[in-house]
Amino acid sequence: MATPLPPRRRPTMVDVAARAGVSRALVSLVFRDQPGASAETRARVLAAAEELDYRPDSAARLLARGRSRTLGVLMTVREPFEADLVEAIYPEAERLGYEVLLSARTPGRDEATAVEGLLAHRCEAIVLLGPDVDDAFLAALGARTVAVVVGRAAPGLDSVHSADAEGVRQAVDHLVGLGHRAIVHVDGGTGPNAAARRTGYLTALAARGLGDRARVLPGAYHEDAGIAAAQTLLAGPELPTAVLAANDRCALGLLDSLRRNGIDVPGQVSVVGYNDDRLARLSHVDLTTVRQDAGLLARHAVRAAAARLDDPDRAPGETVLTPELVVRGTTAPPVRGERR
Amino acid sequence: MATPLPPRRRPTMVDVAARAGVSRALVSLVFRDQPGASAETRARVLAAAEELDYRPDSAARLLARGRSRTLGVLMTVREPFEADLVEAIYPEAERLGYEVLLSARTPGRDEATAVEGLLAHRCEAIVLLGPDVDDAFLAALGARTVAVVVGRAAPGLDSVHSADAEGVRQAVDHLVGLGHRAIVHVDGGTGPNAAARRTGYLTALAARGLGDRARVLPGAYHEDAGIAAAQTLLAGPELPTAVLAANDRCALGLLDSLRRNGIDVPGQVSVVGYNDDRLARLSHVDLTTVRQDAGLLARHAVRAAAARLDDPDRAPGETVLTPELVVRGTTAPPVRGERR
DNA sequence: CGGCGCGACTAGAGCGCTCTAGTTCCACGA
DNA sequence: TCGTGGAACTAGAGCGCTCTAGTCGCGCCG
């Protein structure tokens, strides 16, 4: 139907070889930066390639060498924290000599489809961002290829995530230190890590002798959950003086909803998020939050994948990074000595 | 160094063929859904493939057939509007029988690098999202491959974008219709389309006899520009009653900054964005904005790429879609008959 | 009963690379 | 004078597919 090849054929190694007056193999050497070509030949080959606007075809290259040296990254397009991760994956992958292929999970395209696409392109390992994938799927994937999960624990696979309970503890300690006693947690519902954060919250409160003041509001990892939680709080008899949200997006919804209803943050209510994504850092948001260092997570993930690829027998490991509270503008001491 | 092949070799067509007791070619037929295999053979092949967990290697496939049927998409990871576009590109590409490869431009990875990656993977066409690419680059790219630009005009290339002047006109008309006279425009600076929107604003005001009331504040396509603009306005002698922001992100910064300073939106100041990205639609933002239909833009872009690929001699075309004002909660009539 | 067309299937030549195993050529030392 | 070793380069066999040009058998027609 259509012309099988574009009018001006893409140049190949043969063309370059012919133009430079050498063999195909030599061109290959030059392009792989291997020893075995004299400086002037090398220059001649490069010049010829330049003139022809030649660039190696990675499909062929991939086919010919055993390894593709390609990492597949499964992501969503909406999550700011994942964007931070992606940005950090590229340089680390490059450093280790890997290419990166991105595949997005969208409402109409599930993780299985996205992963098939990556695997068909011979990705040697898959890095799964954002923990919204189910366990069975992960297990199956892990059996088929090298997979690294970022953002949550994944039994049997390599995973890189941060210590949620510790992060939450820091947040709680910060709030308690400021004088807060009525600290509500809007949780992540059934979302991944939500249980860990919830438990962390309860434990931290108990440790501060505030176990009986614990109050968990059902939530989720997105803005709407924050909004809903704000409605619940506003409808209640008395506002807490501080709220610990499931993540930054949830905190954002909460923040906006509170302010819209005339509540001063942090004057009347302090708000703490979780993740420290780009949005939280924006000057107009200026959210106090628990930082999960995206760069560090990404680097560890890429390294885990590479290490696993170099040594397939390596036992899968869980890397747990310590999160760190970042105090910004949404937390302050409570208004005044609260009643009771 | 490392084992060149993973312990359990990935199965190939030969394995499937052997197991099904047919030739390699027949397996190929079956997997390409071509006629020439009987129903039972087809079933047998599929069963064998299933048992072996075989899946075709797209590198080899790509190499063997002339065309890769792959579309490369150049994106950023941060722009919500681009996320909307990506989500819409997948289904349309699939419908037309194309695979999609994503490549991100990040602070540390310029568009040239991102595009090289895509091209090396034999993408037949590149769809460039977000117009943040320079003209010279586009021209060079257009000469090398099929390229479609989404979001702005690109002389000499296929492009799909919306009529900015028209969108701005609708916004202005809406505001004027509500009774606003003091309408400020925070522009997109030197950003793409900024000039068109600026001119559209001036023209629309003039058409309403408000030419002398025009006021353009220098801005950009991100939140910080909105914040800065808010500061400028707040520092001024009198607030305008309405602000037309360069895009939604800018509007968001503006919105937040105004509200933080105790300004009621839309009570005291109305705010209008541009794009209607996912963020604008969030219930806590509820921004009146000019919708660029991401789905439509994406579909047109993919179709343009496909059409171009089917007929390389097709002249590059500019598709201009009509944007549409979406009235939400950030616009209202001005407080009261303003002075003068 | 020979030929023909057709459905089912196969052989084998690429696609553009990589990589192993050479081959050439040229010092250089004994 | 003849190895000998190393640098520079080449031949050719794949990698896992696709696709063209078959072959084979079978029912059917004249």
- B339 has a pLDDT exceeding 60: no
Q: Average pLDDT, stretch A88-96?
A: 92
Contact B257, A284 (CB under 8 A): yes
Query: Alpha-carbon distance B282 to B259, whole Å?
Result: 17
Q: Are strands A288-291 and A318-321 parallel, antiparallel or unpaired?
A: unpaired
Q: Which residue has the higher pLDDT, B58 or A330?
A: A330
Contact B280, B323 (CB under 8 A): no
Return the closest nucleotide (C1') to the Cα of B41: C8
Please check whether residues B186 and B215 belong to one and the same domain.
Answer: yes
Return the closest nucleotide (C1') to the Cα of B29: D18
Query: Alpha-carbon distance A227 to A257, whole Å?
Result: 6
- B1 has a pLDDT exceeding 70: no
- A143 has a pLDDT exceeding 60: yes
Please check whether residues A83 and A112 belong to one and the same domain.
Answer: yes
Query: Alpha-carbon distance B116 to B236, whole Å?
Result: 48
Please check whether residues B168 and B155 belong to one and the same domain.
Answer: no
Q: Which residue has the higher pLDDT, A268 or A120?
A: A268
Any idea what the CATH number is for the domain that residue A17 is in?
1.10.260.40
Taking CB atoms and an 8 Å limit, are A5 and B66 in contact across chains? yes
A213: which strand partners?
A: none
Q: Average pLDDT, stretch A230-244?
A: 95
With cut-offs at 50, 70 and 90, classify the pLDDT of residue B155.
confident
In a domain, residue B81? The reply is: yes
* Residue that terminates a domain, selected from B292, B308, B330: B292
DSSP per-residue codes, B296-326: HHHHHHHHHHHHHHH-TTSPP-EEEEPPEEE
In a domain, residue B279? The reply is: yes
Overall number of domains in chain A: 3
pLDDT digits (tens, 9 = 90+) for A177-220: 999 999 999 999 988 889 999 999 999 999 999 999 999 999 99
With cut-offs at 50, 70 and 90, classify the pLDDT of residue A336.
low
Nearest CA to B310 out of B194, B102, B187, B158 is that of B158
Share of chain B above pLDDT 70, in %: 96
Query: Alpha-carbon distance B40 to B47, whole Å?
Result: 10
Residue to mutate among B102, B129, B311, with most A CBs inside 10 A, is B102
Q: Average pLDDT, stretch A7-16?
A: 81
- Residue B144 is predicted with a pLDDT of 85
With cut-offs at 50, 70 and 90, classify the pLDDT of residue A244.
very high
Please check whether residues B266 and B310 belong to one and the same domain.
Answer: no
State CA B329 to chain mean position distance. Answer: 25
Q: Domain range holding A185? A: 164-292
Nearest CA to B259 out of A255, A251, A248, A268 is that of A255
Please check whether residues B178 and B154 belong to one and the same domain.
Answer: no
Please check whether residues B186 and B268 belong to one and the same domain.
Answer: yes
Q: Are strands A288-291 and A324-326 parallel, antiparallel or unpaired?
A: antiparallel
- A128 has a pLDDT exceeding 90: yes
Taking CB atoms and an 8 Å limit, are B121 and A256 in contact across chains? no
Q: Which two tokens stand for residue A240?
A: 């807490």
Mean pLDDT of chain B: 89
Q: Average pLDDT, stretch B154-183?
A: 95
Query: Alpha-carbon distance A121 to B241, whole Å?
Result: 54
Query: Alpha-carbon distance A183 to A181, whole Å?
Result: 6
Any idea what the CATH number is for the domain that residue B213 is in?
3.40.50.2300
Nearest CA to A160 out of A295, A255, A280 is that of A295
- Residue A131 is predicted with a pLDDT of 64
Contact B24, B14 (CB under 8 A): yes
Please check whether residues A155 and A237 belong to one and the same domain.
Answer: no
Q: Which residue has the higher pLDDT, A174 or A7?
A: A174
Q: Which two tokens stand for residue B5?
A: 């092949």
Please check whether residues B224 and B194 belong to one and the same domain.
Answer: yes
- Residue B3 is predicted with a pLDDT of 29
* Weakest-pLDDT range from A238-242, B17-21, B163-167, B284-288: B284-288
Contact B268, B335 (CB under 8 A): yes
Q: Average pLDDT, stretch A267-283?
A: 89
Does B96 contact chain A (CB < 8 Å)?
no
With cut-offs at 50, 70 and 90, classify the pLDDT of residue B8.
low
Q: Average pLDDT, stretch A240-260?
A: 92
In a domain, residue A133? The reply is: yes
Q: Average pLDDT, stretch B315-322?
A: 93
In B, residues 54-93, which contact A (CB 8 Å cutoff)?
Answer: 55-60, 62-63, 66-68, 77-78, 80, 82-83, 86-87, 90-91
Return the closest nucleotide (C1') to the Cα of B54: D16
In a domain, residue B157? The reply is: yes
CB atoms within 10 A of CB A205: 24
Please check whether residues A218 and A121 belong to one and the same domain.
Answer: no
Q: How far is the CA of B19 from the C1' of C8 (A)?
A: 18
CA dihedral (A299, A304, A310, A311) in degrees, to 10, reads 160
Task: Please give the helix or strand (H or E) that residue B255 lies within, else none.
Answer: helix B248-260
With cut-offs at 50, 70 and 90, classify the pLDDT of residue A8.
low
- Residue B254 is predicted with a pLDDT of 94
CA dihedral (A160, A165, A167, A170) in degrees, to 10, reads -160
- Max mean pLDDT range (A6-15, A86-95, B257-266): A86-95
Nearest CA to B2 out of A311, A314, A307 is that of A311
Alpha carbon of B62: minimum distance to chain A alpha carbons (Å): 7
- Residue A230 is predicted with a pLDDT of 96
Q: Which two tokens stand for residue B279?
A: 């963020």
In a domain, residue A251? The reply is: yes
Q: Average pLDDT, stretch A229-245?
A: 96
Please check whether residues B177 and B284 belong to one and the same domain.
Answer: yes
Share of chain B above pLDDT 90, in %: 64
Please check whether residues B221 and B147 belong to one and the same domain.
Answer: no
DSSP per-residue codes, B169-186: HHHHHHHHHHT---EEEE
- HSE-up of A152 (CA within 13 Å, CB side)? 19
- A33 has a pLDDT exceeding 70: yes
Taking CB atoms and an 8 Å limit, are A102 and B102 in contact across chains? yes
- Max mean pLDDT range (A69-78, B50-59, B238-247): B238-247
pLDDT digits (tens, 9 = 90+) for B259-314: 888 899 999 999 999 999 888 887 678 899 999 999 999 999 999 999 988 887 88
In B, residues 131-190, which contact A (CB 8 Å cutoff)?
Answer: 144
Q: Which two tokens stand for residue A68?
A: 């593709």
Alpha carbon of A319: minimum distance to chain B alpha carbons (Å): 23
Q: Which two tokens stand for residue A9?
A: 């054929």
Q: Average pLDDT, stretch A119-145?
A: 86
- Residue A338 is predicted with a pLDDT of 43
In a domain, residue A3? The reply is: no
Query: Alpha-carbon distance A132 to B266, whole Å?
Result: 37
- Residue B65 is predicted with a pLDDT of 85
Radius of gyration of chain A (CA): 26
Q: Average pLDDT, stretch A268-280?
A: 92
Q: Average pLDDT, stretch A131-157?
A: 87
**Residues of A with Cβ-Cβ distance to B108 under 8 angstroms:** 87, 90-91
Contact A282, B223 (CB under 8 A): yes
In a domain, residue A107? The reply is: yes
Return the closest nucleotide (C1') to the Cα of B37: C8
Q: How far is the CA of B191 from the C1' of C5 (A)?
A: 66
Please check whether residues B108 and B227 belong to one and the same domain.
Answer: no
Q: Which two tokens stand for residue A63?
A: 């086919």
Taking CB atoms and an 8 Å limit, are A120 and B227 in contact across chains? no
In the 3-class helix/strand/coil scheme, how is B68-84 assigned residue by residue?
CCEEEEEECCCCHHHHH
Contact A322, A291 (CB under 8 A): no
In a domain, residue A338? The reply is: no
Taking CB atoms and an 8 Å limit, are B122 and A5 in contact across chains? no
Mean pLDDT of chain A: 89
Q: Which residue has the higher pLDDT, A83 or A66?
A: A83
Query: Alpha-carbon distance A215 to A299, whole Å?
Result: 36
Taking CB atoms and an 8 Å limit, are A102 and B104 in contact across chains? yes
Query: Alpha-carbon distance B111 to A177, whole Å?
Result: 47
**Residue B110 gets which letter from DSSP?**
-
Judge residue B184's burial from the number of C-beta atoms within 10 Å of its C-beta, 0-12 exposed, 13-18 middle, 19 or more buried: buried
**Residues of B with Cβ-Cβ distance to A260 under 8 angstroms:** 259, 284
- A339 has a pLDDT exceeding 70: no
